Amino acid sequence: MVDRKRMDNPYKDRRDLKNREIKKSLTHRARLRKNYFKLLEKEGESVPSRDGNSDDQDQNQNQKEEEKEEQEQEQEQGDRNTKLTYQDRLKISKQRKLVKQQRILEARKEKIAKIEKAKNQRERNKEKFKQKTSKGQPLMGPRISNLLDKIRTNAD
């Protein structure tokens, strides 16, 4: 009989391991914080509250002030928009639609031009590939150069 060492499953009790690690890190952090506060007391400096709420309260107040400022700015922008007459708003919307249509037309023209360019390139390649030697064999030079061009474009 061969005496084999029993292999423990590394995935067994992962939850317990994780819980122990979390508890360990929390106690370590608490111990460090406690020692830090003791050191501050020895040096005679003011010790911040151990709750840590003072920093949170300051941050909350700052956030509330920022939110109020943002709301005021939004209200001012809303007032500007309501001052416009119906005709002005209609003109603005027509201008926006016109700009949007122009963008769509330009994109469509570019797409058509790109398709046409690709079509012309294919035609040129087709003509190159149709070339034959005097004995009727296809020329390999254009085919090889085409493959090299493809490799260069893929490498870039």
Band (pLDDT 50/70/90 cuts) for residue 52 is low
For residues 156 and 131, what is the distance between their CA atoms, to the nearest angstrom? 29
- 86 within some domain: no
The stretch 12-21 carries a mean pLDDT of: 84
Number of domains composing the chain: 1
User: Cα–chain-centroid distance for residue 16?
Assistant: 36
- C-alpha dist (Å) from residue 81 to 74, 78, 88, 89, 98: 11, 5, 10, 9, 20
Q: How many helical (H) and strand (E) elements, i.e. helices and strands, does the chain have?
A: 4, 0
pLDDT in tens, 66-123: 777 777 777 776 666 567 888 998 999 999 999 999 999 999 999 999 999 999 999 9
More confident residue, 150 or 5: 150
- 122 within some domain: no
- 129 within some domain: no
Please give the residue range of the domain that contains residue 21: 14-46
